[in-house]
Structure 1
Amino acid sequence: REGEIDIAKRIEDGINQVQSSVAEYPEAITYLLQQYDKYEAEQLRLSDIISGFIDPNEVDDMAPTATHIGSELSEDDLPDEDEDEDEDEDEDGDNSDDDGDGGPDPEVAREKFGELRAQYEVTRLSIQKNGRAHDDTQNAIAQLADVFRQFRLMPKQFDRLVNNMREMMERVRVQE
């Protein structure tokens, strides 16, 4: 189990690094905000976009993101799986805490996406006004990355963001 936990932590660190890199590409944030707008318009479920949020104050905790490690959860759930009564109580507790589809809390999501949108606008305006190399812009990009890292994206969304970034890099290479 210790080996699995170490592997899960390394995967998590890698995902956070990729997510930070993606945050520096404004189109990635634009895409995520568009997906949230589709949720607001009831075209998507919130659970199709994100699985939850990471508490920025609890950096050392193992908060699974796009690549969910099954053994990570089973470690916490093993005692509950052995006892049927506890499992039923946990299921009841889960249903009362979540919205109907078992996804993230819509109110928390609204707050977090609002924070992301606000920081995205600050960053976008700073890039337009000062350019990417300016200190104020670099600080805004770092703050945007901090906000973006709080999101636990669904694998499909994470893959889409990474693929968009990869396609953009390919277009740049072709132009060079």
Structure 2
Amino acid sequence: MPRGNNRQLIMTILIGLAIIAFVLPDIMPLFSGGGNRRVVPSGIADGRPTNPSTPMPEPTFTKERELSIISSKTGKVIRRIDIEKAENDQERTIGMMFRKSMPDTRGMLFLFDRPAPQSFWMKNTLIPLDIIFIDENKKITTIHPYATPRSESPLPSNGDAQYVLEVRGGFCNDYGINIGDIVEWQ
């Protein structure tokens, strides 16, 4: 083989390895089975573009159920909203990413098979959200208000949670929703 071809072969191999090293962290979650959490605070990408120059179409809201938040003090409904469900790993991973708005009348409910510690982040989420962790008895146990858009900092449940509700940032403050309140959906 001529000497020039060796250099070309070596360069081709090095470029190929660089591409693999760059892409591998983004595609590994597709092959790992994922677990049941939407977010892994390790910073592993979810397979969607993170480059701001790559425009993503805004997902459309699909009403799947209605949800009521009930005061633990009065037993009265504080607020009713339409919800979209996130029931599988793919739906939980995408969640509210790439959405540009969230009216007070809507939210996203993440459903898990069993109670467990949960941790969410705001990577690729463009709007502030209130993240509400709910136990197996449908009682609110943790609220992270005004979660910062695009943040990769973990937002933990501080205990077991079987459900997580995401609503517009400031929603809980605006409507007086507190830890201990009850969530019901149909």
Higher helix share: 1
TM-score category by the smaller chain?
under 0.3
Q: TM-score if structure 2 supplies the norm length?
A: 0.21
When Rg is computed on C-alpha atoms for both structures, the one with the higher figure is 2
Higher strand share: 2
